[in-house]
Structure 1
Amino acid sequence: MSIHAPLIIDIAGTTLTAVDRRRLAHPLVAGLILFGRNWQSRAQLGDLCADIKSIRPDLLIAVDHEGGRVQRFRTDGFTHLPPMRALGQLWTEDDKGQPGSGVLKACEAATSAGFVLASELRACGVDFSFTPVLDLDHGESSVIGDRAFGRDPRAVSLLARSLMQGLLQAGMGNCGKHFPGHGAVKADSHVAQPVDKRSLKAILSDDALPYRHLGSVLTAVMPAHVIYSKVDDRPAGFSSRWLQGILREQLGFQGAVCTDDLSMVAARQMHGRTLSYTEAVLTALQAGCDLALLCNRSTDNGGAELDQVLDQLAQAQVKSHVQPNEASEERRLNLLPRTPARPWDELVRSTDYMQALERLP
C-alpha cells in the first residue's frame, strides 16, 4: 500500500526526546514546524535539524518566519527582517524626478529579504518557511496588519513574486497565505470564527488576484480559517469548492495545499460544532489539502493528543476512510530543498549576502 504522510507536528523543547523521535519516525508524519521555544542558538538549531534528518531525511523542517513580528529566530546573527508593509511603502516612494523608481527599489528589497530569510534558515538546517502573506491590507484585520505588503493586489503580486525569487535563489520554496484572503475580516481566527460575506466575484476580482497572478510560481498555498458565506458554509480549508473547484480547477494551482494550524479554536468549527483534531485533519484532507498542520500539541499532556491523532489516522487509512494520495506525497516532497545549503560562515562572508543586506529597508 502506498503511503502519504500528511501531518506536520511540533516538539516541545530544544532537543529531541525519545517520544519526539518515535513520532517523527511515524510514516504518517510529513515534518515538523519550529517555534521560538525550540531556539537557543544557531549551533543548537543546526544540531536539532541534523538530528531530525537523521531519523528521516524526507521530513520537512518548517517555520513561520516572515519578517516583522512573525520571525521565530532573532538573535545570534539572524537578521531582523522588516515587516512586509515596509516593502509596500517603498513602492510609493519615488526618487525625485524618477517616476517608478520606488517600484524598482521595493522589488529589489523584496528579493533581498527573501534571499536573506531563506539563506539564514537553510544555513541552520531549516527547509521551508510559510511565507509570503498574500492577504490584502484592508485595514480590518489586526492579525494580518503589517504582515501584508499593502492593499493593491497588483503591487502585492509583484512584491510577493520578487520575494519568492529571493527565496528561490537560496533554494527554498514558498507558501502563499491565506487563500483566498484574510485581510477583509476583523476576527482573529486563532480565537474566533471570521466570516466574509462578499460574493465570489468580489473576492476573485480583489483578494484572490495574487493567487491568479502567481499560480505558476507558488509552490504551496495555505487556506484561511475563514468562512466565505456566499460561496460555502465551510471554512476555506475544509471546502472542496474552494480548494478543488476554485484553487485547482479555476486558478490552475498545481502545488501543495497546507492547512493553517488546526489547533486554533476557529480552525475546527464546522456546521455549529467543534471537530476533534482527527476529524479536522481528515476533513481537510478530504476537501483537498495535502498537508495538515497541528501545532502546540506536544506541550499539553505530554503530547497525548498527537499520539491519538496518529493512531486514529492510521486506523482511518486501514479502514479506507482516507486514501493514500500519491500526488499529495509528490507535492510534499517537492517542498524539500534540491540544492545544498551554504554554511553560515561562508554565507555571511559572501558578496551576494552582504549586498542583499544593504538593500533591505
Structure 2
Amino acid sequence: HIPGHGRATVDSHLDVPRVTASGKELRAVDFVPFQALASQPLGMTAHVVFEALDADNVATVSKTMIGDIIRGEIGFDGFLMTDDIGMDALQGCIAARCEAALAAGCDAILHCSGDFDEMRQVAAAVPPLTDAAQSRWQSAAARISSADAMVIAGELAKQLSDLIDPTGMGSS
C-alpha cells in the first residue's frame, strides 16, 4: 500500500483513513521503506488521505500523491495498481472512481469484490492501458518472468532485512 497505511486508524474498506503526520515526518519515516523498495516491479496504492500533502484526496486519486510523491520523491516507476476500487474509502460511483484513479496516474484498476454489476461498470469505464502503463507492465512482466521466484523472494527478503537493520548489513 504505497505510500503507506501504517498510521491509518480506520479500515479503508469501511471509511476514509486520514493521516495527520507532517510532510517532514512522513518523508523521514513512513516513505523510507518505499524508497528502499522503489525498484520493485509492481505497486498498489493506498486509499489513505495524507492531510499534510493532499487533504482532499486519498492517495489513489491524488495527482500530488502519485505524481509528486510516489513517482517523484519515492522514485517508484513500476506498474501501479489501485487497491480495490470498490472500497468505501473512495467517493462516487465506480466509473468516477476509476476515472479519477487513472487521471491521478494509476496504471490499472483493481476490482476485487466479485460484484458483477460493479465489474461491468469497471470494464465500461476503463480504457486500454496507456503507452506508458503498457511499457511499465511489459517491464514488470519481463522482470518477473525472467527471474526465478526464489531469486525474487531472496532479493525482497534482503531489502526488507536492510530496512530493519539500519547498518544495511542484514542478518546474513
Q: Same fold (TM over 0.5)?
A: yes
Match of 1:311 in 2: 124
- Between the aligned partners of 1:241 and 1:186, the Cα distance in structure 2 is 22
- Between the aligned partners of 1:235 and 1:219, the Cα distance in structure 2 is 22
Match of 1:26 in 2: none
- Between the aligned partners of 2:85 and 2:113, the Cα distance in structure 1 is 10
**Greater helix proportion:** 2
Distance 1:312 1:252, change over 3 A: closer
Match of 2:155 in 1: none
Structure 1 residue aligned with 2:94, among 277, 301, 307? 277
Structure 2 residue aligned with 1:237, among 60, 67, 80? 60
Match of 2:139 in 1: 334
- Between the aligned partners of 2:69 and 2:15, the Cα distance in structure 1 is 25
Match of 1:223 in 2: 45
Match of 2:76 in 1: 253
Distance 1:339 1:284, change over 3 A: same
Tell me the percent identity: 32
Q: SS at 1:206's partner residue?
A: helix
- Between the aligned partners of 2:8 and 2:122, the Cα distance in structure 1 is 31
Residues 111-126 of structure 1: matches in 2 within 5 Å?
none
Match of 1:204 in 2: 27
- Between the aligned partners of 1:305 and 1:185, the Cα distance in structure 2 is 26
Gaps of 5+ in 1: 1-177, 270-274, 318-323, 343-361
Is the Cα–Cα contact under 8 Å of residues 180 and 203 in structure 1 kept in the other structure?
no
TM-score (norm 2): 0.76
- Between the aligned partners of 1:241 and 1:248, the Cα distance in structure 2 is 10
User: Which of structure 1's runs of 4+ aligned residues deviate more than 3 A?
Assistant: 339-342
Match of 2:11 in 1: 188
Deviation digits for residues 251-297 of structure 1 (CA, Å, limit 9, x no counterpart):
3221111111111111x23xxxxx11111111111101111101123
Q: CA deviation at 1:250?
A: 2.2
How large is the Cα RMSD of the aligned pairs? 2.3
Gaps of 5+ in 2: 150-172
Q: CA deviation at 1:311?
A: 2.5
Task: Give the letter for the 2:136 counterpart.
Answer: R
- Between the aligned partners of 1:234 and 1:190, the Cα distance in structure 2 is 16
Task: Give the letter for the 2:130 counterpart.
Answer: N
Q: Tell me the number of residue pairs that the alignment of Structure 1 and Structure 2 aligns.
A: 147
TM-score (norm 1): 0.38
- Between the aligned partners of 1:212 and 1:313, the Cα distance in structure 2 is 29
Is the Cα–Cα contact under 8 Å of residues 49 and 59 in structure 2 kept in the other structure?
yes
